[in-house]
Structure 1
Amino acid sequence: MMGAEHMFLYLDSCHNTMRLHRIVATEHQERERGYERMRGSRITYVVVKSNETLADLSQRYGITHEELRQLNPGLQEIVVGDVVKVWTHGGETREPKAGQQFVLGFYAGPMGVSLPGSQASLHQHSALLSAIAPYWFDLHLGSAGQIKSRVAAATIRTQVADAHRRGVKVLASIHNTDKRPGTSRTQVLHSAITANRTVFVRNVLRLVEEYGFDGVNLDFERLKPGDTANYTAFVRELASQLHGQGKLLVVDVLGDANHQPFSMDFDYPGLAASVDYLGIMTYDEHKPAQGSPGPVASLPWVERTVRLAINAGVPPRKILLGIAAYGYDWTDNNPGARALSYAAIQRLQSQHKATAQFHPTYRVPHFDYRDARGDLHHAWYEDARSLSLKLDLVRRFNLGGILHWRLGLEDPASWGPIRAKLSPIEK
């Protein structure tokens, strides 16, 4: 086996940014330094953040206090700014290729007139897509560690082959969005990543092999309280298995700008250490269930989310920025909101002769109108202009690419900024 790849993370005082330097050392050199290299492991150098303790490092990286002391002779206590070595497990480091952007588009069938399917968008824009993540698989609520398919096997094979012919990778996207009365989705996920972890990993690998997927996308948006470390350990094990077969692993996490419930469940840097990309879902800043009209993803909120992730220790090139392609139609004094594609929103605007405005602070379009009953509506959505401004964040922070929810809902003009600002696209 080739020598371990060492990742050195340090603070550049001149620019006040976190930069990632790669230091390569052979196994022979490691032994000369007195380290017993663990097979399938690597050493990561991390900068201690404010109020961080040895216990925090131990939990984040799955390393014992004794291992920390072996790697850092004389280490007793740590203070902010200290550079500490830690083991991370789960295969060799897989850094995204510098200069290439990874564009991952979620893919789904039609959900009524207001939410068309993704196939036409895939066919028209395959040159600008690295991969798709079809919304096909869920955790089986009735059997821990098992995976339930939403579509027929023949459909999966046909659509995977179609994407491959177009030069687009396909990731098996697994969710925990299925619902059943009397069943806790978070408890099912807890069982899958703890007591049934071996079974679950085996089933994921079998799924990849059966349909010829190029990797896996994990989209588990809710964890059981206390499962943060369990999920990170599960991802580390799955990544090791997938990377050993040359497959990709993308893990999606909720945006964290306002410390919303569930977003704090995820160990951003711990997950990023194992995966190819961390997809940060920077959308639904204003959620339908909360009943408060507002932007799907205002530019300041998205930027704060990115900064928080990077400041937490996530390498920028590992981040896929979540891009919304839809909008919500809110009605005063009514709970919830109606999700609409860009095309459906344009029809709504035309029908009610509403005048759209571009919010000067949020940097997204919106308009108001009254329906036939006189109720006041507020439509907030995304278009090519708002998307283009978010792509500037990808360039400014040197992120790995974007996570697009979802193909078929977008403003058709948005592919122009994607081509102009994200090329070359990783294939």
Structure 2
Amino acid sequence: MYGCTLQGLLLFLGVSLCWGDCPCSDPALCQPIQDTRDFEVYVFHVRGKYWKNYDWDHVTTVALFAPFDPELMCFAHSKGARFVLTGNVPLKDIVDPHNRTAWIAEQVKLAKDQYMDGINLDIEEEVSTGSAEYYALTALVEETTEAFHMEIPGSQVTFDATYAPNCVYDRCYNYTAIGDLCDFLFVMSYDEPPENWDLHLAAANAAFNQTIAGYKQFINIGVYPKNLVMGVPWYGYDYICYNLTEDNQCKGKTSFRSAKGVNLEGSQMGYNAIMKQVNDSLTGRLWDKVQKAPFYNYKDTKGNIHQVWYDDPQSISLKAAYVKKLGLRGIGMWQADVLDYSDDPVARQQTAAMWKALLP
């Protein structure tokens, strides 16, 4: 491996490992994870040391959206969990096969140097069906998977998919092929536009019926259920109500997101901030029976009325039940660092409930 001395190079199960450079107290923890558990709990780590309080009894993969932390790598491996890179590259840059090969080689080298177990491809560009980028993206997934599997035994290559496969936000990807070519798709079942977007009404971030319909669409186009991991939001959106009706319909200001749809202007809020606010709000927690999601109203210091929609253990549990019903591979969240991991007894109960809700 790059940077290793001859004395530090050992052979274990056919994998070359440089124990001399291993940052773990136990050099065995620098070995790649090769076991695969039946149920995937996929975690995105974004910031801080909150990972020390994750539910490690169930976490199977941690995707790194933060600076590399060798302590986290060692700890994840000690729990039998994979620790993977995030990969993002402009598609125009990898239409050329030589550029694509070079980019993949860089990612494999980085993963090896950091004793990591694969890569999460997080590419969220608009792509037209049949374009050069359309075919380059599919080739990127295929070649990345082949390279990682060859160079790091047991490694995992995943792809972040939109909540439905039908050109959502003009991302017309070949999900049928991509789902077969990588280890699985992480489906981002959040930031979903409400069905009544034309009314400019605040609504759920991940309405139940629309979320489940997305998985059925993936399966209907030929994506194997075990190649799908359900992504749920551990955050919500705060909307200013320019008009609030007696039945709590909040009309907000729209912002155009793509040529095919609009979203309301809202501020993202983590679950920890929501829990600190909801009990002191104007309404307390309310429940929408149609969208199967909680929300509440509050007034800011300027006198503006806001409506906050979010997911909690009740709404997540309803979706998680379909992981089993549809035969999906597992579940995960964006993102794990927005819970309150303090010693406050109420916060500890809330945090434990969110982790528990992931298990159908």
Q: Shorter chain as normaliser: what TM range?
A: 0.7 to 0.9
Q: Distance in 1 between matches of 2:104 and 2:176?
A: 22
Distance 2:290 2:92 in 1: 40
Contact 1:269 1:312 in 2 (8 A): yes
Unaligned runs of 5+ in 1: 1-95, 110-116, 137-150, 177-187, 422-427
What corresponds to 2:106 in structure 1?
203
Q: Indicate which of 127, 137, 149 corresponds to 2:57.
A: 127
Are 1:175 and 1:218, in contact at CA under 8 Å, matched by a contact in 2? Answer: yes
Match of 2:148 among 225, 242, 258: 242
Kindly provide the CA deviation profile for residues 17-61 of structure 1, in whole angstroms up to 9, marking residues without a partner as x: xxxxxxxxxxxxxxxxxxxxxxxxxxxxxxxxxxxxxxxxxxxxx
The residue aligned with 1:169 is 82
Q: Percent identity?
A: 23
Instruction: Pick closer, same or farther for the CA change 1:293–1:258 going to 2, 3 Å.
Output: farther
Q: Aligned partners of 1:163 and 1:391: how far apart in 2?
A: 24
Asked if the contact 2:193/2:205 (under 8 Å) is kept, the reply is: yes
The match for 2:91 is 189
Q: Does 1:415 align with 2:339?
A: no
Letter in 1 for 2:145: A
Is 1:217 the counterpart of 2:120 in the alignment?
A: yes
Root mean square deviation, CA, Å? 2.4
Alpha-carbon distance in structure 2 between the residues aligned to 1:221 and 1:270: 17
Residue identity matched to 2:59? L
Matches within 5 A, 1:165-314: 165-175=78-88, 188-195=90-97, 196-225=99-128, 226=131, 227-244=133-150, 245-246=152-153, 247-256=155-164, 259-263=167-171, 265-286=172-193, 293-314=202-223
Residues 385 and 414 of structure 1 are in contact (CA less than 8 Å); yes or no, is this contact kept in structure 2?
no
Aligned AA for 1:302? Answer: T
Q: How many Å separate the matches in 2 of 1:123 and 1:192?
A: 38
AA of the residue aligned to 1:198:
T
Distance 1:261 1:286 in 2: 10
Say whether the 8 Å CA contact 1:127–1:167 is kept in structure 2. Answer: no
Q: Secondary structure of 1:216's partner?
A: strand
- The residue aligned with 2:328 is 399
- SS at 1:133's partner residue? strand
The total of aligned residue pairs comes to 286
Letter in structure 1 aligned against 2:225: P
State the alpha-carbon separation in 1 of the partners of residues 325 and 168 from structure 2.
25
Question: What SS is found at the alignment partner of 1:222?
Answer: coil
Q: Is the 8 A contact 1:286 1:293 kept in 2?
A: no
Say if 2:313 is the partner of 1:375. Answer: no
SS in 2 for 1:304: helix
Contact 2:184 2:227 in 1 (8 A): yes
What is the TM-score when the length of structure 2 is the normalising length?
A: 0.73
Structure 1 runs (4+) deviating above 4 angstroms are: 289-292
Q: Shift in Å at residue 407 of structure 1?
A: 0.3
| Corresponding letter in the other structure for 2:42 | L
Structure 2 residue ranges without an equivalent (≥5)? 1-34, 243-252, 255-264, 340-349
Aligned to 1:103: 41
Q: Distance in 1 between matches of 2:330 and 2:103?
A: 29
What's the CA shift for 1:256? 1.9
CA offsets 1:349-370 (integer angstroms, 9 cap, x no match): 2333432111101111011222
3-state DSSP class of the match of 1:128? Answer: coil
AA partner of residue 345 (structure 1): I
What is the Cα deviation at residue 338 of structure 1? 1.3
Amino acid paired to 1:237: E
Q: What is the CA–CA distance in structure 2 between the aligned matches of 1:355 and 1:257, rounded to whole Å?
A: 36
8 Å Cα contact 2:281-2:296 kept in structure 1 = no
1:363-409 deviation line (CA, Å, top 9, x unaligned):
11011222232212110001011110111110100100113111022
The SS at the match of 1:351 is coil
SS at match of 1:221: coil
Counterpart contact for 1:156–1:211, Cα < 8 Å: no
**Any conservation in 2 of the 1:221–1:262 contact (CA below 8 Å)?**
no
The whole-number CA distance in structure 1 between the counterparts of 2:46 and 2:233 is 15
Aligned equivalents of 2:166, 2:309: Cα separation in 1: 19
Alignment-derived partner of residue 3 in structure 2: none
Match of 1:32 in 2: none
Secondary structure at the aligned position of 2:124 is classed as coil
Residue in 1 that maps onto 2:20: none
Cα–Cα, structure 1 residues 248 and 131, in superposed 2: closer, same or farther, change >3 Å? same
TM-score, normalization: structure 1? Answer: 0.62
Deviation per CA, 1:254-308: give whole Å up to 9, x if none. 1127753234x21111001111111111111139x99752111011011110010
Residue deviations 1:310-350, cap 9 Å, x none?
A: 00000001101111111111112456211111121122223
Distance in structure 2 (CA, Å) of the matches to 1:403 and 1:218:
15
